[in-house]
Structure 1
Amino acid sequence: MRIVGLTGSIASGKSTVSAILRELGAPVIDADAIVHDLQRPGTPVTEAIAREFGPAVLRPDGSLDRAALGRIVFSDPARRRALEAIVHPAVRAEIERQVEALRREGRAAVVLDIPLLFETGWDKRVDEVWVVYVDETTQRARLMGRDGLSPAEAEARIAAQMSLEEKMRRADRVIDNRGDLARTRAQVLAAWQAVAGGAEGARPSDEAHSGEGG
């Protein structure tokens, strides 16, 4: 089974690419979804975060206040590393469990959707790396528009990750997301078919295009 690592940066459009891959029939393991599941109220990960960062990062119902936690970790690299030390090992174990399940099913390929793929060393654990790229000006504008952030807040979140330029240099394949959706979709289709082969990629792709709605 071939393992693809998909990454990008905040507001680069990685979620769009991941959604297209699912439409094409690709099995996608979403690290962010795993994080959210591991951070449900009462889980060991959530309890460890509360011990490390204090009760202010929890809402009254015990759920994680991600905005409050984000204000702490995005402005302090040491605190961000403390959070990563709690979350990353648990996420890694769950990703490995899901990969092994797909391997037992006999799947030809799997995509690991991991925002911090390079930062957490997953680039060394996959067969090839795809990076979803936009230029920094586009990235900043999309982030501010999407999340209602100030320029300083947007810059802090972008700076918290490895630059997209560096990720692009280290990628095996770059998905250029500066254009329209059709252009992005065509790149993703070609990339997935190259990995998974004609029969597995072609039938779902026809369905995806038929549902695009022009």
Structure 2
Amino acid sequence: MMANTGLLVLTNPKRVIKLLPMIRKHILKTLYIQYFPEKNIFLSGSHMITSSQWGISHYAQIISNIYTDTSTISSRLDVRVLLTSIKNPNISIINTKKPVEIVIFDQICSKREADTFIQDYLANTSMGCSFINLGDDLNSEKLDSVMPCFLEEKTYKNVVLGGTFDKIHNGHKIFLSEAVLRCTEKLTIGVTDTNMLSAKLLWELIEPCSTRISNLSNFLEDIDSTITYNIVAINDMYGPTKCDSTFDMIVVSEETKRGGDKVNEMREKNNLSKLDIHVVKLINEENHKSYEENKISSSNQRIRLLGTKLRAPQIENKVLKPYIIGLTGGIASGKSSVAKKLQKLGAALVNCDKIAHDLYQPGKKCFDMIVETFGSCILKPDGFIDRKALGNIVFNDQTQLNKLNNIVWPVILEEAKKEINHFHTKGFDIIVMEAAVLIQAKWQHECHEIWTCIIPQEEAIRRIVERNGLTEVDAKLRIQAQPSNVEQINEANVVICSLWSHNVTEEQVEKAWNELMAFLTNQVKI
């Protein structure tokens, strides 16, 4: 059985990559790493790091290398390099928030040596904590090639930094560790609140600010509990730096260096001392796709959420055959393309928009009620409803739109259910109910799960103007009359974004479909 939490006791960072298969095999959720530089940790007293043995920059580089080397497993494992004993050599006890269930040593040791180490130096272990001993092939690995820096480096009592910190990844951990290593008393972190997010890619998938603050606190207090953390929401790029005189240094990344300069410009205007600026290098991501960023980033993580289950489907007390996927999304979001792909994969399609269109025809169930409600001015000379004229009425007046919806929505759902039953009798076990108004009409309760298509508003406007021949003003009105991307996502089990090429959209759909197939297969086994 795999352990949820493990500790890697590391004396040679160059062994990390070769240890990854062992880590993947034995540890499921959290990997702590305690670095003891190039020592035989089983000799008396050798678990302690010699004070001022190496400079901060050297340790920072090694920690950066460790996080970079473990980036291939960080999507599954939460990797945390512990800093307390590096900063405070006299502290030998290894403290972790989560109880350690298994210890991996990168040196050969006897059971007695391992048990003694675990008993003497681990403060939080599970009952029956076990260990893994390395073989000779790894133990002979050459020492780290980074040249140590012995120069005494400046530390700071009060350090500040800022960022979004969505879905904390190894790039964030390097950035935060650089700040923690240089901070002796208090680290203040400004976390961008909602009003600062809209320019970010797939910002609707960013975690709530309170969640990001909580995750930061959990991580930081775990890697070094000897300093104070002040984590606050910020609504502008300056945060507390524009008024707090106690700060000594600000930590920035290569791409936010200009922001650090602007902070100092603001502080000068406010008669505050300028801050020292420490710049952290960005970490490249080797295996990114062409439409992803080439650095380790939260944007890439959000892209990779597309086509995955964001939340489990609500299937309690529901018959699984037929299995209904509610497909929705805003205007010009790519619903039709997704629906066609799902048909190719084997699903039947019930198009509620087409059902609605048919209901507007003379002699159909809703025709007379619509004309009676909105008047003959919405009729064309041939006696058919002029949908553009009707749209001009309802999309500019919520009351009028509600009247139309109350007429057509119940009938659309009734007809959709008939089509679902028809397809099921034809042998289809998975049926897609495509409906732009699915969320507004509260039809999600008729489905097993909801797939929603999103697109940035600017792109939606461009597509509407190009496809429908509307002005930008009219396009915005159409968009504002429907649920926002955030509202759609809040109801969704799966999110698809058609911002990139058609092939990328299809990849997302295939990913979601394959996950659904695995889920349904598992339900049959149960």
TM-score bin, normalised by smaller chain: 0.7 to 0.9
CA distance in 1, matches of 2:518, 2:430: 10
1:91-141 Cα distance to aligned partner (Å, 9 max, x none): 011011111222333422111001011100111221100011111111111
1:89 aligns with 2:410: yes
Structure 1, 81-90 or 189-198: larger mean CA deviation = 189-198
State yes or no: 1:25 paired with 2:356. Answer: no
- Alignment partner of 1:104 is 2:425: yes
1:63-142 equivalence runs, <5 A: 63-142=384-463
CA contact (8 A) 2:361 2:385 kept: yes
Give the AA of the match of 1:36: H
Match of 2:489 among 152, 168, 179: 168
Aligned equivalent of 1:201: none
Alpha-carbon deviation of 1:34? 0.5
Higher strand share: 2
2:350 maps to amino acid = I
**Normalized against structure 1, the TM-score is what?**
0.87
1:137-196: per-residue Cα shift (whole Å, max 9, x none)? 111111112112222111110000000122123210001211100000111122223334
Shift of 1:24: 2.4
Q: Distance in 2 between matches of 1:197 and 1:98?
A: 26
2:513 corresponds in structure 1 to: 192
Name the counterpart of 1:178. 499
Identify the match of residue 146 of structure 1 among 464, 467, 470.
Answer: 467
Residue of 369, 386, 399 corresponding to 1:48: 369
- The structure with the largest alpha-carbon Rg is 2
Give the corresponding residue for 1:8.
Answer: 329
Q: Highest relative contact order (Cα 8 Å, sep 6+), 1 or 2?
A: 1
Q: 1:197: how far off?
A: 6.0
1:205 matched residue in structure 2: none
* Cα contact 2:324–2:448 (8 A) shared by 1: yes
Which one-letter code corresponds to 1:108 in the other structure? D
Q: Does the 8 A contact of 2:379 with 2:386 survive in 1? A: yes
CA distance in 1, matches of 2:397, 2:388: 15
- The residue type paired with residue 502 of structure 2 is L
Are 2:357 and 1:36 aligned?
A: yes
CA distance in 2, matches of 1:150, 1:69: 17
Q: For residue 63 of structure 1, report the CA deviation from its aligned partner.
A: 1.1
Measure, in 2, the Cα distance between the counterparts of 1:120 and 1:60: 32
Following superposition, which runs of at least 4 residues in structure 1 exceed 4 angstroms of deviation?
Answer: none
| SS of residue in 1 equivalent to 2:366 | helix
Q: CA RMSD in A?
A: 1.6
Give the number of aligned pairs. 198
TM-score by length of 2: 0.37
Q: Deviations over 1:69-109 (max 9, x none)?
A: 00000000000010011111110110111112223334221
| Partners of 1:110 and 1:19 in 2: CA distance | 12
Alpha-carbon separation, structure 2, partners of 1:7 and 1:41: 27
The answer to whether the 8 Å contact 1:9/1:115 transfers is yes
Map Cα deviations across residues 34-75 of structure 1 (whole Å, 9 max, x no partner): 111111122231111110000111112221100000000000
SS of the aligned residue for 1:5 comes to strand
User: Which structure has greater helix proportion?
Assistant: 1
Distance in structure 2 (CA, Å) of the matches to 1:130 and 1:25: 16
Unmatched tracts of structure 1, length 5 or more: 199-214
Q: Which secondary structure state, in structure 1, belongs to the residue aligned with residue 403 of structure 2?
A: helix
Q: Matches of 1:104 and 1:146 in 2, distance apart?
A: 37
Q: Is the 8 A contact 1:7 1:113 kept in 2?
A: yes
Deviates more, 1:33-42 or 1:47-56: 33-42
**Corresponding position of 1:212:** none
8 A Cα contact 1:109 1:195, kept in partner:
no
What is the CA–CA distance in structure 2 between the aligned matches of 1:91 and 1:152, rounded to whole Å? 29
Give the counterpart letter for 1:131 in structure 2: T
**Counterpart residue identity of residue 181, structure 1:** H
1:73 and 1:111 map into 2 onto residues whose CA distance is 28
The SS at the match of 1:44 is: coil
1 CA distance for matches of 2:393 and 2:410? 21
Q: Which residue of 2 aligns with 1:209?
A: none
C-alpha distance in 1 between matches for 2:421 and 2:517 = 18
Cα distance in 2 for partners of 1:121, 1:159 equals: 18
Tell me the secondary structure at the aligned position of residue 171 of structure 1.
coil
